[in-house]
Amino acid sequence: WGQYRRGLVRLGDEGLTPRSLRAALAHFDEATRADPGFGLAHAHHAVLTSIGFNVGLLPDGVAVRHATIARAETALELDPASAEVLGFVGCAFVESGLRALGMRSLRHAVVLDPS
């Protein structure tokens, strides 16, 4: 939880820059190494990575996209009842070109938590 929060603080303090994005992703990686079952950290990593390569802050490539989709799928498997996880995963799928799958996750997130 601490590593995950450090990643969020880094983004909050610096905004979305190549440096803050890489640092946040490193914190999320550390969080999932410490707790492989931490679905929220996997989901947030997936959405930030997919946004990062779409806006040019991270290098794009087939391997990166596959790893991002795999991380999103892992998050879904770990925490399918979390609206927050579903929201991040849905956005990651949409940003990765899997619009129908992403919209399904986003709709389910709204059903679980309309706020």
pLDDT digits (tens, 9 = 90+) for 49-62: 999 988 888 887 78
- Residue-wise pLDDT for 78-108, tens only, equals 999 999 999 999 999 999 999 999 999 999 9
- The per-residue pLDDT for 70 is 94
**pTM of the predicted model as reported, rounded to 2 decimal places:** 0.92
Cβ 54 vs Cβ 8: under 8 Å: no
Average pLDDT over residues 1-9: 96
Dihedral sign (CA 60, 64, 68, 73): positive
Q: Over the chain, what is the mean pLDDT? A: 94
- Among candidates 53, 72, 71, which has minimal Cα distance to 62? 53
Cβ 40 vs Cβ 79: under 8 Å: yes
- Among candidates 11, 69, 94, 83, which has minimal Cα distance to 40? 83
- The per-residue pLDDT for 77 is 97
